[in-house]
Amino acid sequence: MFKKSKKIYEDAKKYIPGGVNSPVRAFKSVDLDPIFIEKGKGSKIYDVDGNSYIDYICSWGPLILGHSDEEVLDGIDHILKNGTSFGVPTEIEVKMAKLIVESYPSVDMVRMVNSGTEATMSALRLARAYTKRNKILKFEGCYHGHSDSLLVKSGSGAITFNVPTSPGVPDYVVKDTIVCKYNDLESVEKAFNEYGDDIACIIVEPVAGNMGVVPPIEGFLEGLRDITSRYDSLLIFDEVITGFRLSYGGAQQEFGIDPDITCFGKIIGGGLPVGAYGGKKHIMSNISPLGDVYQAGTLSGNPLAMNMGYNLITKLKDNRNIYKELEKKAIKLENGLNDIIDNLNIDCHVNRIKGMICLFFGKGPFTNYDDVKECDTEKYSIFFKKMIEEGILLPPSQFEGWFITYAHSDEDIEITIEAANKALKNTYNI
Ligand code: PMP
């Protein structure tokens, strides 16, 4: 089934650490070798051996409309022929910034970067400079990219590979990173009681999407807004996953919260490398060359990513029905999985909010990192393998969300549920 992939992997291992350019692609935690992909169209992805899968990785989020959407790709040929990077500004950067500012009331100005990691790293620098404080507060199991000060008790591949705090991150860097429990305001109050006047910001995934999917409990985000305001600290929403996904206006619209800085990522590039951070004018105007907080990028705002992102976001703006559809599909999948869980009487649990969903191998409830850590990852691995045999590509880790797109049809969801029924029976020897 994976002959060509295996051959490429043998070569890949010689030249690339672990054979992959990002750890979760290795499929190591599910005890498989990676598959190498040839192409994707709509909800489907095709590997080099000619196997096709209904895809729930979907590039980890940006492909809200599925792979190779014609409207998202519109105009790309023209750009390819007329220059892909100039090192001087282009008009599409301005159109893109205007579109984001008009869509997010909390964002008066926005700066483009090349990844989510750069967006959060730059947002922290800005928050520290603006408040003239050094400490930052993050939550266990939240992932904000791999910059040093945020790679502490981190989610995503960092939990998957059991290195939530990476070697190579010096103690003097993380001494200013305070880590609290997600969905636990008491732990945040305690930290602020002790260090409040030194805390520059709280950074949070408003819906945690890097320890599976863990929504905020009622009052959690409101509590973070309140406490940061009381202490003149900034609230940073990392909406790299939720921005333009949970709803058009992201989690801040959904929960009615007004953060000081918002980080965006992959989605605003429609599948090309991008990130951005934006916020209130009095904060953003501290960034160079307007202010003296330095942050730069040779390829930032490059025309290819801007154009694809602009096409995607414009389509989402003009067709809000997409969000209803994403949720409808996620509910259909949730109901299907819950029926199987009930029928088989197994300890599995579905977490879902809007179009974001995942299946935990444990009884639940799952509201924070401690809960999620207790999941049976061996069972997830058996389940994953069986699903791949059935033509369903899930994230190769228990600690990631499943990405549903507008391109997933009702039939795709039905096939997925049927496959999950077989795979769960197999996993639990039923
Ligand atoms: N923040 C969040 C919430 C993310 O999910 C991710 C990546 N999955 C990042 C930041 C980092 O983004 P990137 O991989 O583009 O650096």
Helices and strands (H, E) in the chain, number of each type = 16, 14
Distance 144 CA to ligand 1 centre (A): 5
SS (H, E, C) 367-411: CCHHHHHCCCHHHHHHHHHHHHHCCEECCCCCCCCEECCCCCCHH
Which atom of ligand 1 is least distant from the CA of 142? 3
pLDDT at 163: 59
CA dist 305 → 58, 63, 209, 267 (Å)? 17, 13, 23, 10
For the purposes of burial, counting CB atoms within 10 Å of the CB of 412, is it exposed (0-12), middle (13-18) or buried (19 or more)?
A: buried
300 and 380 part of one domain: no
Domain final position from 318, 346, 379: 318
Instruction: Kindly give the number of the ligand 1 atom that is closest to the alpha carbon of 210.
Output: 5
How far apart, in Å, are the Cα atoms of 126 and each of 19, 106, 136, 192?
Answer: 35, 16, 12, 20
CA of 81 to the centre of ligand 1 (A): 30
Same domain, 75 and 62: no
Q: Point out the ligand 1 atom lying closest to the alpha carbon of residue 22.
A: 14
Q: What is the mean pLDDT of residues 231-239?
A: 98
CATH number for the domain harbouring residue 145:
3.40.640.10
The predicted-structure confidence for 106-116, as pLDDT tens digits, reads as follows 999 999 999 99
Query: Cis omega before residue 365 (within 30°)?
Result: yes
To the nearest whole percent, how much of the chain has pLDDT over 70? 98
Task: Say yes or no: 338 and 405 in one domain.
Answer: yes
Give me the mean pLDDT over the 63-73 stretch: 97
Is the pLDDT assigned to residue 165 strictly greater than 80? Answer: no
Domain co-membership, 299 together with 335: no
Percentage with pLDDT > 90 across the chain? 92
Interval between CA 82 and ligand 1 midpoint (Å): 30
Where do we find the tokens 């003097």? 172
**Are 250 and 283 within one domain?**
yes
Q: Which of 24, 60, 144, 148 to mutate to test ligand 1, by most ligand atoms within 8 A of the CB atom? A: 144
Average pLDDT over the chain, rounded to whole?
A: 95
Residues 32 and 110 in one domain: no
> What's the average model confidence in pLDDT over 385-413?
97
**184 by DSSP, 3-state: which?**
coil
Whether the model clears a pTM of 0.90, i.e. scores above it, the answer is yes
pLDDT tens digits, one per residue of 79-136: 999 999 999 999 999 999 999 999 999 999 999 999 999 999 999 999 999 999 999 9
Instruction: Report residue 159's pLDDT band, with 50, 70 and 90 as the boundaries.
Output: low
Q: Is 266 a catalytic residue?
A: yes
238 catalytically annotated: yes
Strands in 177-180's sheet, in edge-to-edge order, are 109-113, 275-279, 261-264, 234-238, 199-204, 135-139, 177-180
Report residue 66 as tokens. 């599925």
Q: What angle do CA 379, 357, 19 make, to 5 degrees?
A: 60
DSSP state of 284: H
Contact present, 146 and 187 (Cβ < 8 Å): no
pLDDT tens-digit series, residues 2-15: 999 999 999 999 99
Indicate if 137 and 270 belong to the same structural domain. yes
Looking at per-residue pLDDT, the higher value among 281 and 170 belongs to: 281
Asked whether 231 and 197 are in contact (CB, 8 A), the reply is yes
Same domain, 46 and 172: no
Ligand 1: centre distance to CA 178 (Å):
20
**273 CA closest ligand 1 atom index:** 15
User: Do 269 and 175 fall into the same domain?
Assistant: yes
Which one of 303, 318, 333 terminates a domain?
318
Residue where a domain terminates, one of 318, 341, 361: 318
Contact residues of ligand 1, CB 6 A cut-off: 60, 115-117, 120, 143-145, 156, 205, 209-210, 238, 240-241, 265-266, 275
Residues 306 and 410 in one domain: no
143 included as an active-site residue: yes
Residues 150 and 206 in one domain: yes
Burial readout 74-93 (b: 16 or more C-beta within 10 A, e: otherwise): ebbeebeeeeeeeeeebebb
Tally of domains within the chain: 2
CATH classification at residue 352: 3.90.1150.10
Domain, as residue range, for 325: 3-68+320-427
Residues 193 and 124 in one domain: yes
pLDDT of residue 158: 65
CA of 367 to the centre of ligand 1 (A): 20
Q: pLDDT at position 35, please?
A: 96
Is the CB of residue 153 less than 8 Å from the CB of residue 217? no
Are the CB atoms for 380 and 398 separated by under 8 Å?
yes
298-335 tens-digit pLDDT: 999 999 999 999 999 999 999 989 999 999 999 999 99
